[in-house]
Amino acid sequence: MTPRRPYMVRAVYDWLVDNQLTPHLVVDAEQPGCELPWEFVQDGQIVLNIAPTAVGQLQLGNDRIEFSARFSGKPHRVWVPMAAVMALYARENGAGTIFEDEVFESNPTQPAEPAEAEENQQSRKPGSHLTLVK
């Protein structure tokens, strides 16, 4: 059977937003594959506000949650494997759910960063015919 967590995350998220509550996501930052603003991770965890007004391009997929957000004014791309999601709750009253440990097939592969993709393309270009003279 497929894991329940992705379906529960989407259901609880929709319920919280429909009731004008602020959804907060608790993430186990020690799980492999997390792409987070590491300066805000404390004790191996981070709590993220994933309200529609706080994030952009939110995708609640079957294998991951990803979005873009600003932390201390700096833009970040956040990528959380579903196995790293520990809880989803409302800031206002704590309503939500804590997720049990589940077996996931494998951690999804992360898409390449735009900067990494650009570096890969640059590394494939032939070298210049010019030489550096010091």
Residue 11 lies in a domain: yes
Residue 131 lies in a domain: no
Q: Write down the pLDDT at residue 1.
A: 84
Structurally, the chain folds into a number of domains equal to 1
**C-alpha–C-alpha distance, residues 17 and 52, integer Å:** 8
Task: Determine the pLDDT at residue 109.
Answer: 55
Domain span holding position 114: 5-124
**Does the residue 74 lie in any domain?**
yes
Q: What is the pLDDT of residue 12?
A: 98
**Those residues with Cβ within 8 angstroms of residue 96's Cβ, 6 or more apart along the chain or in another chain:** 12, 16, 23, 24, 87, 88, 89, 90
Could you list the mean pLDDT of each consecutive 10-residue stretch along the chain, which spans 134 residues? 93 98 97 94 96 97 96 95 96 95 65 48 49 66
pTM: 0.76
The domain that holds 120 is classified in CATH as 2.30.30.220
Please indicate, yes or no, if residue 132 is contained in any of the structural domains: no
Question: Has residue 67 been placed in a domain?
Answer: yes
d(C-alpha 81, C-alpha 73), whole Å:
24
* Complete DSSP assignment for 71-96: ETTEEEEEEEEGGGEEEEEETTT--E
CA distance 58 to 76: 13
pLDDT at 128: 55
Give the DSSP letter of residue 31: S
CB 65 within 8 A of CB 10: no
Give the helix/strand (H/E) hosting 67: strand 64-71
What pLDDT, on a 0 to 100 scale, did the predictor assign at position 117?
Answer: 42
In a domain, 64, yes or no: yes
Q: Which residue in 64, 55, 63, 61 sits closest to 23, CA to CA?
A: 55
Quick check: is 129 in a domain? no
- What pLDDT shows up at residue 101? 82
* 133 part of a folded domain: no
